[in-house]
Amino acid sequence: MAKLPDMYSRKTLHILDVLLFAIGSAITVSSFSFETLLIGRAIQGFGAGGIFPVASAFIGDTFPPEKRGGALGLIGSVWGFSGLLGPILGGLLLSYSWQWFLSLKSQLQ
């Protein structure tokens, strides 16, 4: 995924990666079986695998050299916090099962 932005448009690939992540998220959220959940997570992972390298390349192109380190540090800290908090929040949500939102939605209606 890191080589594709060099071969094609960075903007197009970034949009594609975000769309893949969004499609994977929609499949994951609407999954009614464990297999569908895994397929959605795989699509999410493929999209997320392209977001970071493309965003880093955008930073390299956009920011002047003296500001580039701070911008890359900021994006790295966001990925670090998400890597720390994501599994914790995911574990909490799984204690209600991955379909907890369906019961909540039916209760609201």
In this prediction, residues 35-51 reach a mean pLDDT of 91
- State residue 84's pLDDT score: 92
Higher pLDDT, 53 or 101: 53
**Phi/psi of residue 74, each to 5°?**
-65, -45
CA distances (Å), origin 27, targets 24, 80, 87: 5, 25, 19
In whole numbers, what is the pLDDT of the chain averaged over residues?
84
pLDDT range class, residue 98, cuts 50, 70, 90: low
CB proximity list for 32: less than 8 A, separation 6 or greater: 99
Given the structure tokens 């569908």, which residue do they identify? 36
44-63 mean pLDDT: 85
Q: What is the pTM of this model?
A: 0.67
How is the chain split into domains, by residue range?
4-108
Q: Does the pLDDT of residue 99 top 90, yes or no? A: no
At how many degrees (to 10) do helices 65-94 and 34-62 cross?
170
